[in-house]
Amino acid sequence: MEINFTLNGKRVSISTEPTRRLLDILRDDLGLTGTKEGCGEGECGSCAVLLDGRLVNSCMVPAFAMEDKEVLTIEGFREHQRFKAISKGFEKAGSVQCGFCTPGFVMAAEALLRQNPHPTEREISEAIEGNLCRCTGYNMIVEGILTASREGDGLW
């Protein structure tokens, strides 16, 4: 089937199987490999992207649900000022350890800060509940998001 959607601000049209995963479309068909595959079952958040501004696991989104939707991946988000604020916050707090889970955490941070520019630690912890870090780095990730919210004040 043919699917038309907006990807990182540009209209795209692809022909694919209706049940093909958005994750595979991004990585294999469109070469956007910043979105990572971890569990492939909706449990780890490493494949997280924003779909119409909402955080979703792209391994759980079928192509047929994509018509006319708006997708933001880490590649598109990199162009925003807000990405710089989040990456600076992560850098200051030492949030990035493996790099593999990081794009998902960055997208989760953006989804949260869009809704709530000044979250509490608890709200941040809840917002990243769906993102798995295998190296027990959660405190530093929470701190990184807090720093981004403080120092990027006015961007969200």
**C-alpha distance from residue 39 to each of 42, 45, 59, 62, 64 (Å):** 7, 8, 9, 16, 22
34-42, 65-73, 82-90, 120-128 -> range binding ligand FES (CB under 6 A): 34-42
Site string for ligand FES, 79-98 (x = CB under 6 A): ------------------xx
11-19, 39-47, 79-87, 148-156 -> range binding ligand FES (CB under 6 A): 39-47
If we measure between CA atoms, which residue out of 76, 74, 42 comes closest to residue 59?
Answer: 42
Please tell me what DSSP assigns to residue 155.
-
Residues 94, 139: Cα–Cα separation, whole Å: 10
5-13, 37-45, 74-82, 143-151 -> range binding ligand FES (CB under 6 A): 37-45
Is the CB of residue 50 less than 8 Å from the CB of residue 71? yes
Using rule CB under 6 A, residue 45 touches ligand FES: yes
Binding residues (CB under 6 A) for ligand FES: these are 37-40, 42-47, 57, 59, 97-98, 100-101, 133-135, 137
